[in-house]
Amino acid sequence: MASYIEPKILKGFRDFLPPAEITRRDLLEKIEASFRSFGFLPIDTPALEYAEILLGKGGGETEKQIYRFKDNGDRDVALRFDLTVPFARFIAQYRGELTLPFKRYHIAKVWRGENTQRGRYREFTQCDFDIVGSDSPAADFEILLMMRNTLKALGVDVSIRLNHRGLFNHFLNKLGVAEKSVEILRTVDKLAKIGQDETRKLLAEIAGEEAAEKILQYIGSHGNFEETLAAITDLSGGESPESQRLKILRKYMLDSGTEGSFELDPSITRGLDYYTGIVYETFLKDDPAIGSVCSGGRYDNLAGLYSKPSSATEALTGVGSSIGLDRLIAALESLGKLASRNGYADVIIACIKEEDAGAYQTLAGKFREAGIPCEVLLDAAGSIEGKKLTQQFVLAEKKGARWIIIPGADALKDPLTLRELKTRQNREGLTLENIIDHVS
């Protein structure tokens, strides 16, 4: 070979070797099974879209982070940086073909040229799920319940902290600072990061010291769900459709026996502009400091930007959430709850004679037909003559198998030996049926 190119990947991007990729796929399968168990349907959209579509109204941070370029046809294109914007475009484009309310999930990679410090990646996987076309509190609750059940299925106990943007806006309105709500919401959103004192200072700059103090009081602790609801209902000017909705959601939680997973937390605001109803973040009970692993909220008009202003179609309201797979994996890892395995095959067939490879595959085929993954060792080191059986045992264990089968001289007729790798116990004189029963 004349030339040599150093094998390396871009900063912020990752290769996944089998153990890590198996872990990812195991998690994704559980997540997807949970989504499907609620009757949610998958969609997919292109990784590459018109930059105009993805950037929409534009936005400072997004514009800086997006991978944007001219394609060979001189089109201005970009890699998707989230799954929400493509979904908004999708909803506008196929509205007539979708059955509403539309419950969809989308699990896919997104790309952002972010600063790679602080464990951020430039390529990462998001798992989004939304219900579009229903304003019902039952839809809000379904998304909340899916968050809880999906994370429970992964073995983590979560606390979902919930708030209502509309109620907070009533409060700001009463306070006379409604026109500054966007800035105030963004500042409150940083509370956990920057602390109470810095938040007070920033809020005072925006809304004055007196308002700042009242906002801090509103977003502070008020006790349990009912007490907090009573307090913020009062602070926001009394009963309203928004406080009613929180009351209904509380009833749903109690009726389904899931109330232990939810908190009403008036400091949750989410930074993003498009949320108008409930908003929520999810923290691991065993390690809340790692931050939210699943967040979202209700929005009024997701597809508005892509819907003809002239058309008579009404705005599509919806509610959704997103699991950040990479942060979740980091969290599970730090909690020691990340199951890992080296392979899928519990059963491995040793190679005695290379010329019998066809017969070994026939044996293996019986396991595969019974739903048991089964690997055939090929020759283990290029030359079977030089490979002792004990080395095949070591190899099989390294691959994560529990059993190795040692065929007889006539692989298809002779009795078989089954060795349990962990205990090093051999059981001889077995039929294939014996073994399939034993390992099933």
The yes or no reply on residue 120 touching its own copies (CB under 8 A) is: no
Greatest C-alpha distance within the chain: 89
Region near its own copies per CB under 8 A, out of 130-138, 173-181, 188-196, 421-429: 130-138
Minimum CB distance to its own copies, residue 186 (Å): 21
Mark out the alpha helices in 59-175 (DSSP H runs).
60-65, 84-94, 137-153, 165-175
The yes or no reply on residue 39 touching its own copies (CB under 8 A) is: yes
The yes or no reply on residue 9 touching its own copies (CB under 8 A) is: yes
The yes or no reply on residue 439 touching its own copies (CB under 8 A) is: no
The yes or no reply on residue 60 touching its own copies (CB under 8 A) is: no
The yes or no reply on residue 139 touching its own copies (CB under 8 A) is: yes
The yes or no reply on residue 416 touching its own copies (CB under 8 A) is: no
Nearest to 404 by CA among 433, 385, 376: 376
Minimum CB distance to its own copies, residue 439 (Å): 14
Region near its own copies per CB under 8 A, out of 12-20, 215-223, 261-269, 426-434: 12-20
Region near its own copies per CB under 8 A, out of 63-71, 187-195, 224-232, 284-292: 63-71
Find the binding residues for its own copies in span 210-239 (CB under 8 A): none
Cβ neighbours for 355, distance < 8 A, ≥ 6 positions apart: none
Alpha carbon distance 147, 140 (integer Å) = 11
Minimum CB distance to its own copies, residue 27 (Å): 13
Question: Helix, strand, or coil here: 183?
Answer: helix
Find the binding residues for its own copies in span 250-269 (CB under 8 A): 251-257
The yes or no reply on residue 8 touching its own copies (CB under 8 A) is: yes
The yes or no reply on residue 13 touching its own copies (CB under 8 A) is: yes
307 contacts 6 by C-beta, under 8 angstroms: no
- CB-count burial class (<10 Å; 0-12, 13-18, 19+) for 417: middle
Nearer to its own copies, 97 or 197 (CB): 97
Nearer to its own copies, 56 or 271 (CB): 56
313 contacts 266 by C-beta, under 8 angstroms: no
The yes or no reply on residue 71 touching its own copies (CB under 8 A) is: yes
The yes or no reply on residue 197 touching its own copies (CB under 8 A) is: no
Helix (H) or strand (E) holding 180: none
**Beta sheet of 68-70, edge-to-edge order:** 48-50, 76-79, 68-70
Nearer to its own copies, 74 or 197 (CB): 74
Nearer to its own copies, 105 or 218 (CB): 105
Nearer to its own copies, 285 or 368 (CB): 368
Mark 145-166 as b/e (b = at least 16 C-beta within 10 Å): bbbbebbeebebebbbbbbbbb
Q: What is the DSSP string of 85-117?
A: HHHHHHHHHHGGGSPSSEEEEEEEEEE------
Nearer to its own copies, 11 or 118 (CB): 11
Please identify which residue in 138, 182, 194, 389 interacts with its own copies, judged by CB under 8 A. Answer: 138
Region near its own copies per CB under 8 A, out of 155-163, 224-232, 332-340, 369-377: 369-377
**What is the x/- site pattern for its own copies, positions 268-307, by CB under 8 A?**
---------------------------------x-xxxxx
What is the residue whose two structure tokens read 């999708």? 90
Alpha carbon distance 252, 282 (integer Å) = 18
- # binding residues, its own copies (CB under 8 A): 123
54 contacts 78 by C-beta, under 8 angstroms: yes
Nearest to 236 by CA among 181, 196, 274: 181
405 contacts 347 by C-beta, under 8 angstroms: yes
The yes or no reply on residue 343 touching its own copies (CB under 8 A) is: yes
Cβ neighbours for 372, distance < 8 A, ≥ 6 positions apart: 346, 347, 436, 439, 440
Nearer to its own copies, 39 or 193 (CB): 39
Find the binding residues for its own copies in span 79-108 (CB under 8 A): 79, 89-90, 92-94, 97-101, 103-104
Question: Helix, strand, or coil here: 32?
Answer: helix
Minimum CB distance to its own copies, residue 436 (Å): 14
Alpha carbon distance 323, 230 (integer Å) = 31
The yes or no reply on residue 244 touching its own copies (CB under 8 A) is: no
Mark 88-120 as b/e (b = at least 16 C-beta within 10 Å): bbbbbeebeebeebbbbbbbbebbbebeeeeee
The yes or no reply on residue 73 touching its own copies (CB under 8 A) is: yes
Region near its own copies per CB under 8 A, out of 157-165, 238-246, 327-335, 375-383: 375-383
Region near its own copies per CB under 8 A, out of 40-48, 180-188, 271-279, 402-410: 40-48
